[in-house]
Amino acid sequence: MTECYSERMPRIRVLVLSCALLLAGATAADAQAPSRGSTLALGELSKSLQDLAEKVSPSVVQIFVTGYAPPEEQNETGSAEPTMQRSSGSGVVLDADGFIVTNAHVVENATRLDVELPFAATGGAQGRSIIKRRGRLVAAKIVGIDHETDLAVIKVDAAGLPTVPLGDSDALRPGQIVMAFGSPLGLESSVTMGVVSAVARQLEPEDAMIYIQTDAPINPGNSGGALVDADGRLVGINTLIYSQSGGSEGIGFAAPSNIVRNVFTQIRRNGRVRRGEVGVSPQTITPVLAEALGLPDQAGVILADVDPKGPAARAGLQAGDLVLTLDGKPMENGRQFRVNLYTRPIGDVVRLDVLRGSDRRTVSVTIGERADDLARLAEIAAIQRELLPELGVIVVDLTDQVAKVLPERRADSGAVIVAVAPDAPYSQQGKLQPGDIVRAINGTPVRNMTDLKHLSAVLKPGSAVALLVERQGDLMYVAFRVSR
C-alpha cells in the first residue's frame, strides 16, 4: 500500500457521460448525435453533483498535524533522535458542537492539532470569487482513538458547525455512485467521483473489520475524509489505497458508516470503544465438512467452540450447534457471523435460530464485553494507579484482575502501562502502548508500580532511559530521552 498522484479525468468523463446517456435513455446512435433530452439530462446530472458538493464541502475539514515521524521513516533516514514533522489529513464534522471523525493514523503521533474550518462553516458570508477564502484555523484535541478500526474523534471549540448526516452503509451496492471529499496532497476542499467497487471487503482473512472499496480517486491527505452517496449522506470514511505505482489506481477503501457511527458514539460518550462478544468460535461449513459430519447442505455456520463462561453458553448454546439466522438474517459463513456481531453494543440482545440434530430452536444471547480488550485497563485502574510524568505514562500493578486482560505474560509481577500521554517520550523502537508490562528500567528489575515510580523519579531532563517491556509475551527495549 503506497500513495501518489494519478490522472483520472478521462475516466470520470466516461462515467459522467455514460450516466447521462443512461438517464436519457439514449441509444448508440443518440450518443453520436446527442438529442436535446440527453443534453438536458447531462446538465441536470451536472447540476445535482454541484449542489451535492456545495452541500457537503463545508462539513469536511483539513487537519494539520505536528508530531513525531513514525519509527520506520526515521530508520530510513538513519536519524539517531526522534524528529518532528508536519502532515495533514481530513476530517468530517458529525456533531455541530465541534466533534470531528478522522483516521487514527492521521492524529495518533500528534503533539499539536489544528483544524481549518471552512469559511462558510464559521458564519462567513458566501463570496462571489472563484478563489475561496481560507477558513479559520482552530486548535483541536484528541477525544479518543480506536486502532482496531483506524478511526479517531477530535474536538474543536466551536458550535453551530454544519454536519454530514450518516447513511446506512449496509444498503450500499456495487455500481452505486459515490463522491470522495477531502484535502489530497494538501489541496483543501477537493471532490472526486466514482462508484462502489465492492462492499464488505476484508483486508485480512477472518477479520471482522470490513471496508467499502471504491474507484473514486483517493490520495495522501484524503485520509479521514468523507465518502458520500448521491443523497449527500456519509457512507464511509476514506482510509487507505492499494497501489503498485504509488498513486491512486482506483482501489481505495473506506470504513463503513455503520462502523463509524458505533465508534463515534462510543468515543464521544466514553472516550473509548467497548467491544462485545458472545463467546463462540463460528466456522464456515464447507462441503467436505458437511459430508464428514453428516450436516444438511443448507447449513452455513457451525459453532466449533463455545466458551463455558461466555454469554452463549449461559443462553444454552453448545459446540456443534448450527447457526441458521441472526436476527432473521440467514448466516451463510463464519465471516458473515463475525461481521454482523462486530457493531452490536454491549448489553444488546441477538436472536439466533440454531439447529441441534433435528431440533430447531431460537436462542436469545446478550452481548458481553470482550475479555481481552486492552482499553478495559483504564477502567480497571480507576483507583490504584500512578502517573509517571518523566515517562509520560500511567501504570498499575499486575493484579489478578489486570492479568485477565493480559493472558500472554511471562510472570505475575511488574508495572502495567494503562495509558500513554500524547506527548510521551518517543523511541525509534516504537512508542509505549497500553498493555505493556515494564520489567526493568536501565537494567534494574521492576516488580511493581512503586519500583517504577521510585526509579523514574530520579531521572533528569535529557537522561537516557531504556525500558525492558513485555508486549504480548515478547520482550523488547524501548529507549528514549526524558523530555521534562
Domains and their CATH numbers in the chain: 1-275 (2.40.10.120), 279-369 (2.30.42.10), 376-481 (2.30.42.10)
- Given the residues 57, 105, 321, 451, the one annotated as active site: 105
Spatial distance between the Cα atoms of 317 and 238, rounded to a whole number of angstroms:
39
The CA-based diameter of the chain, rounded to the nearest angstrom, is 84
- Identify the three-state secondary structure at position 16: helix
Q: Which residues, including other chains, have CB under 8 Å from residue 155's CB and lie 6 or more apart? A: 98, 99, 100, 140, 141, 143
pLDDT recorded at residue 203: 84
How many CB atoms within 10 Å of residue 285?
A: 21
The per-residue pLDDT for 81 is 57
Catalytic residue, from 90, 197, 223, 456: name it. 223
Nearest by Cα to 165 from 229, 215, 209, 86: 229
Taking 50 as the pLDDT cut, the residues of the chain under it are: 1-31, 382-383
pLDDT, tens digit, for every residue of 162-203?
Answer: 999 999 999 999 999 999 999 888 888 889 999 999 998 888
Is 150 an annotated catalytic residue? Answer: yes
What are the cell numbers at 249?
A: 489506481
DSSP codes joined into one string, 68-132: EPPHHHHHHHT-SS--EEEEEEEEEEEETTTEEEEEHHHHTTEEEEEEEE-GGGGTPPPPSSSSP
Q: Which of 146, 150, 215, 353 is catalytic?
A: 150
pLDDT in tens, 348-374: 999 999 999 889 999 999 998 876 566
